[in-house]
């Protein structure tokens, strides 16, 4: 099976899990002149020996087709995901998220892939019109990033309906955990608390999110890959528990540095119409289709995430004094 974006946060965890389940895994990683395989470089050698690494670029159709050959199942995770960065570089998001997904769909169609799991995001829903958010919730593009993911999802639907490509649209809600980039809120808070424990800089504290631990997200992908009934479906992976950013920050402060104060940094505040105020997802559909159940509540997930960031080797990869968009 092929995993695009295997060098990324969720992709590296998914790659590791599939190898542990004795799957034959090919990893498409972003080509660079440093021979870096992203987070795959941090995996144990016993895992890496079992992975066929293919360096390339999802934006290149020929490259995607070459990587896909010989695979029966494809997990498509490669994407640009930072919302603030999408304000500055929307062209890059169009090329990677839309054209990249089109390339994967075309390859799957041409090569007769048995199942293609396309990674969506809860951001496609925008601010909740009702909760919990199920798969019938309307789409609202509140950032260039979310607009490109909506477009990619609809391309995937079109290829399923038009050409019979066996697509599953997998929609995770706010995944967090070890290896997540500092552009996400939980690493942002933890890294600041570990490097400058007197104060942390945040944007808006009022948005509400449904955080899902990365191991639960990965298990959701695996369960959906095993489920034939998931073909043609859009499926949330959500913990179905919500918390405001402000309360989340207070909980992390209590665990790491109780005397820390929160400072509002205007550079981190998103435009009013772009900020998604509430995401609280329904996981009824995935539970009805598969045996998936979330194994981590927020307390346990945060504990494992904090422990990972506290490791000096892991923590040294992050810059606590830099705002990552």
Per CATH, is 2-180+211-242+277-297 categorized as 3.30.460.10?
no
Distance CA 46, CA 69 (A): 25
Pairing of strands 243-244, 208-209: antiparallel
Calculate the alpha carbon distances from 180 to 88, 193, 294 in Å: 22, 16, 19
Cβ neighbours for 79, distance < 8 A, ≥ 6 positions apart: 5, 96, 97, 100, 119, 149, 152
pLDDT for the residue numbered 8: 98
pLDDT tens, per residue, the chain with 325 residues: 999 999 999 999 999 999 999 999 999 999 999 999 999 999 999 999 999 999 999 999 999 999 999 999 999 999 999 999 999 999 999 999 999 999 999 999 999 999 999 999 999 999 999 999 999 999 999 999 999 999 999 999 999 999 999 999 999 999 999 999 999 999 999 999 998 878 999 999 999 999 999 999 999 999 999 999 999 999 999 999 999 999 999 999 999 999 999 999 999 999 999 999 999 999 999 999 999 999 999 999 999 999 999 999 999 999 888 888 8
Q: What is the pTM of this model?
A: 0.97
* Res 69: pLDDT: 98
Backbone angles phi, psi at 250, to 5 degrees: -65, -40
Q: CB under 8 Å to 320, separation ≥6 — which residues?
A: 191, 192, 194, 195, 196
């Amino acid at each position: 099976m092929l995993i695009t974006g295997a060098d990324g946060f969720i992709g590296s965890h998914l790659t590791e899990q599939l190898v542990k389940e004795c799957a034959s895994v090919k990893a498409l990683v972003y080509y660079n002149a440093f021979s870096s395989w992203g987070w795959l470089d941090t995996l144990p050698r016993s895992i890496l020996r079992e992975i066929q690494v293919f360096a390339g670029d999802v934006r290149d159709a020929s490259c995607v087709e070459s990587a896909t050959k010989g695979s029966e199942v494809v997990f498509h995770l490669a994407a640009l995901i930072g919302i603030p960065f999408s304000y500055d570089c929307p062209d890059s998001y169009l090329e990677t998220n839309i054209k990249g997904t089109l390339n994967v769909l075309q390859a799957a169609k041409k090569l007769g892939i048995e199942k293609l799991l396309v990674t969506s995001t809860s951001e496609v829903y925008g601010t909740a019109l009702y909760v919990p958010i199920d798969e019938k919730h309307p789409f609202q593009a509140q950032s260039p990033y979310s607009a490109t993911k909506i477009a990619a999802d609809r391309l995937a639907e079109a290829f399923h309906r038009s050409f019979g490509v066996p697509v599953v649209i997998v929609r995770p809600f706010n995944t967090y955990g070890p290896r997540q980039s500092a552009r996400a809120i939980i690493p942002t808070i933890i890294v600041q608390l570990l490097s400058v424990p007197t104060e942390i800089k945040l944007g808006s504290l009022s948005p509400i999110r449904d955080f899902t631990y990365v191991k639960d997200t990965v298990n959701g992908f695996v369960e959906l890959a095993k489920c034939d009934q998931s073909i043609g479906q859009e499926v949330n992976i959500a913990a179905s528990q919500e918390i405001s950013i402000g309360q989340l920050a207070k909980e992390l402060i209590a665990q790491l540095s109780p005397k820390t104060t929160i400072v509002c940094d205007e550079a981190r505040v998103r435009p009013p119409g772009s900020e998604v105020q509430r995401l609280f997802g329904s996981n009824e559909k995935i539970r009805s289709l598969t045996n998936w159940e979330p194994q981590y509540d927020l307390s346990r997930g945060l504990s494992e995430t904090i422990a990972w960031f506290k490791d000096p080797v892991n923590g040294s990869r992050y810059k606590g004094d830099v705002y990552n968009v």
